[in-house]
Chains A and B, each alone.
Chain A
Amino acid sequence: MTASSRRTTRWLLTGLVVLTVGSALVGIAIGPVLIPIQRIFASLLRFETGGLSTIQEVILWQIRLPRVLLGLLVGAGLAVSGVTMQGLFRNPLASPYILGVASGASTGAALAILLAGGFAPLLPVGAFVGAAIAVLVVYGLARPGNRTTEVFTLIMAGVAVGSFFSAITSFLIFLSSGGEKLSDVLFWIMGGLGRANWTVLAILSPVVLISIGAIFCFARDLNALALGEETAQHVGVNPETLYRWLLVLTTLLTAASVALAGTIGFIGLAIPHIMRLLMGPDHRRLLPASALAGGCFLVWSDLLARTAFAPAELPVGVITAFFGAPFFLYLLKAKKARF
């Protein structure tokens, strides 16, 4: 990497940090009740309480702030896990959902909604358990054989197990024969940040932050892996250890995200590519950049999802793909990307 491109990436990273803070403020400010941005600071830093009405205080602290924070966490989690999967499998089509996590989580969530009815806390638990079962089955199937075939078997098993769980989910939806539960299931599958609250955040944020931090520690090893498993080993990176750690971490990250926000598509697949086009392939910069960009992107998408057709709320996955895909295609053409 030349000195000038290094300076560019530093600017881009700084810009992303500023953008993230800005996005969070805008996400908190805008909604059915507007909250002036300068007063958000005051309230967040507890300088004064007189600036906002009680209702605004409640909206800020109980609705908007948790929602924005959840957006940042889930967006960052999906993007980081996407970068990691693409780096690990050296495959541009890899996404956080490649090992069947999303399908398993959907089945778990659908079961929870249909069986447990309105008991809300069970949904994320069901989703997490579903995701864990799907991934365990995939790993179990892919275990034997040497390393190279293992990676392929892993992807194939992910696709197969994913299809199987999708079939179960479809069957459950068929059994539910319409009604409110069905729309609950469908809305969850399409993803959204509507379930944000402080309990959810307290559980999710340590998992997401620790996993992301741990993945950052493997940035150099992911760079070396781009040269192939054997070359990576020759420069002192043990591919087996790398696979073991990173698969566990990405699964944790994805399962936590999916359990709380449903399956939000596109971020995990495209944000890594977009950032790679802008920042270059070095994971030491790509990982933090993707985390920030994924968070920002989800906050903005969520803002649109809840305001565009207010008071109705669009599934946020519709927005992420609707705006993300054309931008991605534009970058592909403009930058003449090679994968």
Chain B
Amino acid sequence: MRIDIRNVSFAYDAKSPVLRDVSLSVNTGQAIGLIGPNGSGKSTLLRLVSRGLRPDQGSIQLNGKNISDFKTRDIARCLAMVEQQRTIGFDFTVRDVVAMGRLPHRSRWSSESRTDREAIERAMCWAEVEDLSGRSVRTLSGGEGQRVFLALALAQEPEVLLLDEPTAFLDLRHQLSFLSIVKDRIAAGLTVMLAIHDLTLAAQIADLLAMLGNGLVACEGSPEEVLTMENIRTVFDVDAVVGQHSDPKMLYVLPALAGK
């Protein structure tokens, strides 16, 4: 599913706009990484696409249809999001929480169908949370919780997945396994938009990067085009070494402590 963000502006309070006239497009089966310093509007942009917020100006479209024209339930059938912070009321089990991903696909009174059950089990398997099935979500570590919410989002069988700092709480192995799960889904046609701080991981997961600064898209393009020493210095105010590792072929960013 294609996402088009057209001339979107947003301000939490009128004096300091968070996003100014932002336009971005992502094609079906592509991943776009939103990078930029704290407060540059990455999460805000994701929340605008997920309809958690409403743009002051401009429009956001999924496959050419304005998102404000979708019903809440209809948009939940094609778009899922893993948020940054969550508090969970009450002692639901991991299985219960993942099963909630099926809500938009079920009628109010129907019980879990075979399709539902398969989607739930598949999602739990992808996110590697089968072992946690019966655990209370309140007893999970940050990283386990993150994977459970990925499973919830995947159980929705979305066409678009929004991820806000998905690797923030994860250890190295789970950062990579989380992103490789997402990468598999992208290969299967999922469109992904993610906000991410780790530039090296961003370069590996995303087809496109959009570097945000001061509420504007400072630059966008392939990781090679966006992740340059000049761009990082301008937007992040940081000196970094950007290099290409030849085998395996990958781009890396090494931030350097100032004064050295």
A interface with B by C-beta (< 8 Å):
1-2, 87, 90, 217, 220, 223-228, 230-231, 233-238, 276, 280-282, 338
Contacts and interface: CB of A to CB of B under 8 A. Distances in A.
Between B50, B91, B100, the greatest number of chain A beta carbons within 10 A of the residue's beta carbon is seen for B100
Interface string B85-123: 011111111011100110110001000000000000000
Contact of A282 (B52, B75, B96, B103): B96
A282 B81 CA distance: 23
**A-B CB proximity, top 5 nearest:** A236-B76, A236-B104, A281-B90, A90-B89, A236-B73
Contacts of A233: 50-52, 72, 76
A1 B96 contact: yes
A224 B52 contact: no
- Contact residues on B (Cβ < 8 Å of other chain), bracket: 35 or more
A227 B88 contact: yes
Interface of B: 47, 50-52, 72-77, 79-81, 83, 86-93, 95-97, 100-101, 103-104, 108, 134, 136, 138, 149, 152-153, 156
B91 A234 contact: no
A226 B88 contact: yes
B72 A238 contact: yes
Contacts of B77: 236
A237 B138 contact: no
13 contacts: A2-B93, A2-B134, A223-B96, A225-B89, A226-B90, A228-B88, A230-B83, A231-B149, A233-B76, A235-B104, A236-B104, A282-B92, A282-B96
A335 to B, nearest CB: 10
A227 B95 contact: no
Given A224-B100, A227-B100, A228-B87, A234 B92 contact: no
A1 B75 CA distance: 27
B92 A223 contact: yes
B182 to A, nearest CB: 16
Contacts of A238: 72
Contacts of B108: 217, 220
Nearest to B153: A234
A242 to B, nearest CB: 10
A242 B222 CA distance: 42
Contact of A235 (B47, B76, B86, B91): B76
Contacts of B101: 235
B50 A235 contact: no
Contacts of B100: 223-224, 227, 235
